[in-house]
Amino acid sequence: MNLFEQRLWQVKEAPFRPNGIAHTETIFTIGNGLVGVRGAFEEGYPGESATVLAAGVFNHAQGQLVPELPVLPNWLSFRVRVDGETFALNAGRVIGFERVLDLKTAALRRGVLWLSPNRVTLRVLFERFASLDNPHVMALRVMAQVMSDGAHTLEIVDALDATGNNLMNVDHWSKRTLSADGAVLRFDGTTSQSAYRVAMRAHTSADVGAAWSDVSASRVAAHKASLQVAQYEKVTFTKIVALHTTRDAGDPASAAEQTLKSAVAAGYDALKSAHEAAWSDVWQRMDVVIDGDELAQVAVRFSMYHIMIAVPTQDERVSIGAKTLSGFGYKGHVFWDTELFMLPPLTLSYPERARSLLMYRYHNLHGAREKAREAGCEGAMYPWESTDTGLETTPRWANELNAQGERIRIWTGDNEQHISTDIAYAVLQYWRWTGDDRWFLDYGAEIVLDTAVFYGSRAEWNADAGRYELSMQIGPDEYHENVDNSVFTNRMTAWHLEQALNVWAWLSADHPDEARRLGEALQIDAARLDKWRDIATKMWIPTSDQGDGVVFEQFEGFFDRLKPIPLHDFSPRTANMDWLLGHAKTQESRVIKQADVVMLMALLGDQLGDRAFLRRNWETYYPVVDHGSSLSPSIHAWVASRLGLIETAYELFVYAAAIDLEDRKGNVHDGIHAASAGGLWQAVVFGFLGLKLTDSGPQIHPALPSHWRRVAVTVRWRGRPIRLEAHASAAESARVQP
């Protein structure tokens, strides 16, 4: 890759690239599921976004359209002065610079050799991590060493800096209290609307005597210390931070004080060892080994790292936002991205974490039911975007105006209704892989059945045609809004109702008490079951013959009403087609944002038809996809590999890998594309490795890129770890090892 030297467990930046700080802040994010800390510099840098976010702590500030995650105090703030000159990358001269994200241990390290304006050479090493062993703990270690001869004065200014606001300078806090007391810094705050209380505590020490004096200012708790050092003398500072909120503690302040006390007593090295042990367990479960392709190996590990630092480990009432906790993109909201893109790696390799994310949907059934009622339907209709409340949080109007000076209506919250069947799909995949009947009986079945109740009430009977239809839909291709009979939505709805009938039959036969309970709660009776069968059988699945055989029609009128657009006329480009054509013209054009029919092929595969039929659909829709969403390339890579298009699949895999690492779309400053990260894993495991689950267990049908020597991954089926391996060698092409 162009920007970073790749090693099998490292993402590296060397030398410093000042024009790329917004990009590197995102990719160098650390976290642990409770907190995300962007990769800003401890000493600060002009234009940076030193952002700390906590999972589930949302606030709807006055004047804002929707809730978002408020920025927390920047606990990284740590400034070094040598002989009165402040260490800064935009002052003096940077002689050497290297920053490394260690994926294996989830630690970010940086080394800088710096020449001050007064010609004093300073060496500074930084290391930070957010503990996976105890998600309420974060830590920073800084080593400073003056390389010039003579005696020198080192001055440290260490802070909890709460001066930062969210984008558009939105302030989410009604109350802030900050103070410094010797080696300890304190922050206590309350959000303005949601009334979350947040407490942060920090303790900073040095390996030599350091006396701290209070230099706090408005919205900053700070202290400083001065030291006399000789040439080559190393001084190491350790900063340990504790964070609690009312999501996890009735009294966050007391909890933070106790957590800090325990963490300081344990010490940095012990905290780091426990953190590394926790990550060792993660990689034992989650690692995908790719021999023969360093880029692919690091990219998949980088992707899994960013999913795992966002997975909540202690709060099943929160989920993973589309940009994780790595940036302000989508304001921390949860989409279908979680269930169909991020969840599969967890379902197969770390099912406990997958179960927690599915519980977020269970706990928020109330919001789905409220939305269904508002739409005049029954059952549970999940919001397109959700936060901590479970209610729909998609804005109805965009902030900006269109070229005609008109407000832009956002329809996804109203009509992108496939999310409910996407969630049911994820629940059923979890159940199928784990065999966790107890969880399914207590929680999962209710999700599957009540979303089926919704679709049963939403389907429209067309008496003239003798079929059921779904009007005013938005499929995965969001370039075309409010279409009739999205083939993705219609086919997934029919599949969903078929599965709901199977679930009901299983409940009735094997768990009659649970069937009775759910039947009464969800008003499922014989008439409703008969209607589900009727809809599943008679749902219209649009098809068309364009001269080369029958294919799916993405939605009603896709071929007849839309104007073909030769995408190659716009190459090369990085901008999406809706930017180039404009919203209205894109709606009228046969160009699609992302995998839509191809997404259906990924999820249902052979259930849709034979290989020739699937290949015709690929040849119809692949030439017109824009990949305007980061969700698209990895899914296309998965499907292409299953169709035997290995070179194309690999090109798409590399495209997906570059989205974040190389900032392919120029928008990584908003946060990690977490769905693309999960999709990359699926491209390898479901695509190149060819993993399928049969009644007798997992099977693989590999088709590896020509230069890959081996792919190996461990999955869990019904509680048992199973090692899957595929080799380039024909003599040892595939193995499934219990």
- Catalytically active residues are 478
What is the C-alpha separation between 206 and 315, in angstroms, rounded?
A: 35
What is the C-alpha separation between 546 and 558, in angstroms, rounded?
A: 11
- Compute the radius of gyration of the chain from its Cα atoms: 27
Q: Token match 């964070």: residue?
A: 243
Sign of the alpha-carbon dihedral angle for 64, 323, 477, 403: positive
DSSP 432-445: HHH--HHHIIIIIH
243 three-class SS: strand
Q: Which two tokens stand for residue 615?
A: 């290949």
What is the C-alpha separation between 154 and 156, in angstroms, rounded?
A: 7
CA 6 to chain centre: 22
For 562-667, where are the alpha helices, taking DSSP H only?
A: 577-581, 583-587, 597-604, 611-621, 632-642, 646-661
86 three-class SS: strand
Angle at 394 between CA 351 and CA 400, to 5 degrees: 135
Task: Quickly count: other Cβ atoms within 10 Å of residue 734's Cβ.
Answer: 15
Which residues sit opposite 157 in a β-bridge? 79, 224
- Torsion, CA 62, CA 64, CA 69, CA 71, rounded to 10: -70
Closest C-alpha to 492, from 608, 324, 387, 344: 608
For the chain, the 3-state helix, strand and coil shares in percent, each to the nearest 5, are: 40, 25, 35
How far are the Cα atoms of 390, 430, 497, 512, 532 from residue 453, in angstroms, in the given order?
19, 21, 9, 19, 8
Contact assessment for residue 333 and residue 54, using Cβ atoms and an 8 Å cutoff: no
Closest C-alpha to 730, from 714, 715, 709, 699: 709
Pairing of strands 589-590, 563-564: parallel
What is the C-alpha separation between 77 and 185, in angstroms, rounded?
A: 12
Beta strands in 163-316 (DSSP E): 173-181, 184-191, 197-206, 213-214, 220-230, 234-245, 288-291
